[in-house]
Amino acid sequence: MEKLFQLSKRGTTVKTEITAGVTTFLTMAYILAVNPGMLGSIPGMGAEGVFTATALSACIATLVMAFAANLPVGLAPGMGLNAFFTYTVVFGLGYSWQMALTAVFLEGIVFILLSFLNVREAIINALPPSLKKAIAGGIGLFIALIGLSNAGIVSSETGTIIGFAELQGGALVAVIGLVITILLLARNVTGAILISILITTVIGIPFGVTAVPEGFSPVSLPAAPLFCQFDFTEVFTLKFFTVFFTFFFVDIFDTVGTLVGVTTEARIIDKDGNIPRVKQALLADAIGTVAGAALGTSTVTSFVESSSGVAAGGRTGLASVVTGLLFALALFFSPLFLLVPSAATAPALIMVGYFMIKNITGINFSDPVEGISAFICIIVMPFAYSIAEGIVWGLISYVLLKTVTGKAKSIHAVTWVLFVIFILRFFLK
């Protein structure tokens, strides 16, 4: 165990890694309910098959991340990409779900090739250190907003763009859970986040937030996945390329942003800000996407919720092993884990925002080039509800500011390539 995961080198223990892995799973587990509900609304797919595909693809990708990259990062079908799959590609453009799965499958194949060629690794290494810290801070705000929104604490139905909703039901339970989480963290209780999730789940029962169905049984057999349901007939059309490119673009920068943010928070990057075994980490993401498409689900990507496991002390792939095995176990105990409401996981996400926003203290805000580009990166993520868009606008502003201040020669060549691609993206929409 020590030789495989280097626990001592990263200052962790088996107990801490197990706690972190369980915590990451619980904060990611909502995808096992949300994804089948979303993709399952497409005629012909079915929630049961999508659930199986979601759990299996998450398990496979997370275990690859654990053993190949030794990083505490969980993977599963990504939020946003599943919405694009359902509401834009299928319901909006009128493509079949089989064609959409084909686009996801081919995207994963291309990602595997790019990972072997070190293209994705070069992209991560080309990001300026200030933007890497900004990405971590921006993800912190983004994930805190997800927690507040999932719990119903904030809402757009308040008469303003966003505001505090009435504290009742799930929102009230989430606030109680948040208070418990803060108190446990202030007391330096080991596994504070996980303990808070469990306590809040129990508290939710009398509030009607944690629903225990009548005749509840924790065991169920998994349904068969939608195995290899592909349609290659429209692969060479312009519309297919547009769909493929969107999946490709969002996945690559969501993954890059998540890996940078999580590893920065875990303090396992090197002195130059580079992620250890990043090629293997990106390969795990690509393999997960191919496996997910073959099983019948949308793009698999690294989850920002992994930050909750890092906050619980996770530093190695052992935490990911635990997370991956729990996804496999969920196949047989789906009614049990579905008892954990979003109100119970929301406090963990909110506090992760606190842990990750601390990274911005390393940014030199007195330098307009670093400070302004970092600021743009940070605010775009939560306000645009997109990690990828935060990276895009942060990098564009960085290059422009470097250029107008006469420092264009110091810009990395790959950064220039990304800048051009990002600019062209606006004309290809």
What's the rounded Cα separation, in Å, for the pair 390 and 421? 15
Using CA atoms of 381, 382, 383, 384 in order, give the dihedral in degrees to the nearest 10.
50
Under 8 Å between Cβ of 72 and 324: no
- For residue 33, how many C-alpha atoms fall within 13 Å in the half-sphere facing its CB? 15
Question: Cβ of 169: how many Cβ atoms within 10 Å?
Answer: 16
Three-state secondary-structure class, residue 424 = helix
- pLDDT per position in the chain (429 positions), as tens? 777 888 888 889 999 999 999 999 988 888 887 788 789 889 999 888 899 999 999 999 999 999 999 999 999 998 767 877 888 788 887 889 999 999 999 999 988 888 788 776 777 677 888 888 888 888 889 888 888 988 899 988 878 888 898 888 999 999 999 999 999 989 988 678 888 888 999 999 999 998 887 777 777 777 778 899 998 888 887 778 777 877 877 777 777 778 888 888 788 877 766 778 888 888 899 999 999 999 999 999 988 888 889 888 889 999 999 999 999 999 987 777 667 888 888 888 888 888 888 889 889 999 999 999 999 999 998 898 877 788 889 999 999 999 999 999 989 888 898 899 888 877 765
